[in-house]
Structure formats: structure tokens, C-alpha cells
């Protein structure tokens, strides 16, 4: 009797990667599989947007800098979840990462020249 397709497949990943995903997933309240899927999605977006590795690193650094600016001061005690939410909201409201990605994509498109059919 054939099994129904559940939409999932098993893959083997290096233990170090699984441990990194576990560490990254915990504060975001994701599963390890969800974190790996999130990273894969980000990778596909970067790859298909035309960003170079350096441009992606710059965009990530800009995001992390905005997140650091959004952290509460030691005089403002907050849970880790509150701090993460504040970071997300600051970057979302600031729009700096999205703007930088748009600029990089536009720059890469202009460097590529006119699209061919």
C-alpha cells in the first residue's frame, strides 16, 4: 500500500550545522527544522536577488547594527523575547535592510545591462 505524501523528506546534515540551528532557533521559538528551512529560504532569496556574498554580508551587518541599536539599555530590564521583538520592530520600522537590499539589487541589475529575451 503506497504511503501518502506528507510534504517532508529526511536528509542528513552535519551535527555542527544542526547544533548551530538549534542555538539559533531557540530565541526565535523555531524548531531546528524550521530554522534550517528559514536559512535555506534566506539563501535562495539572496542567490536569486543577484546579491554577491559581500553585498549579502553588508546587508546582514546593517541589519545586525540596527538590531543592536534597538536593544534596551541595562536600566530597562526586558525578557529576551521582548528584546528580540524590539529589534524586529526597529528594523521593520527603520526599513534599512529592505532599502539596502533594493539598492543592491538595482545596482546589480544596472551592472548587468539590459535584459535579453
Same domain flag for 56 and 103: yes
pLDDT at 36 over 80: yes
C-alpha cell at 108: 546589480
pLDDT in tens, 63-109: 777 767 776 555 554 566 666 666 666 766 666 667 767 777 777 77
| Alpha carbon of residue 51 to chain centroid | 14
Q: Nearest Cα to 83, choosing from 22, 44, 27?
A: 27
Whole-prediction pTM value?
A: 0.45
- Based on the fold, state whether residues 38 and 63 are members of the same structural domain: no
- The answer on 98 and 64 residing in a single domain is yes
Model confidence at 117: pLDDT above 50:
no
Would 2 be classed as within a structural domain?
no
The answer to whether residue 8 is domain-embedded is: no
**pLDDT for residue 3:** 55
64 and 92 share one domain: yes
Answer yes or no: do 45 and 56 share one domain: no
**Amino acid 22: pLDDT:** 93
Domain count, the chain: 2
Give a yes or no: residue 116 inside a domain: no
Domain co-membership, 43 together with 58? no
Range of the domain at 35: 13-49
Distance between CA 61 and CA 94 in Å, rounded? Answer: 15
Amino acid at each position: 500500500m503506497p504511503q501518502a505524501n506528507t510534504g517532508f523528506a529526511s536528509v542528513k546534515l552535519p551535527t555542527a550545522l544542526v547544533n548551530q540551528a538549534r542555538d539559533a532557533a531557540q530565541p526565535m521559538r523555531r524548531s531546528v527544522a524550521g530554522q534550517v528551512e528559514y536559512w535555506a529560504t534566506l539563501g535562495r532569496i539572496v542567490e536569486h536577488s543577484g546579491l554577491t556574498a559581500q553585498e549579502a554580508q553588508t546587508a546582514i551587518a546593517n541589519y545586525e547594527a540596527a538590531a543592536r541599536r534597538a536593544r534596551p539599555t541595562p536600566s530597562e530590564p526586558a525578557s529576551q523575547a521582548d528584546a528580540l521583538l524590539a529589534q524586529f520592530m526597529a528594523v521593520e520600522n527603520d526599513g534599512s535592510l529592505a532599502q539596502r537590499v533594493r539598492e543592491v539589487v538595482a545596482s546589480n541589475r544596472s551592472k548587468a545591462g539590459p535584459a535579453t529575451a
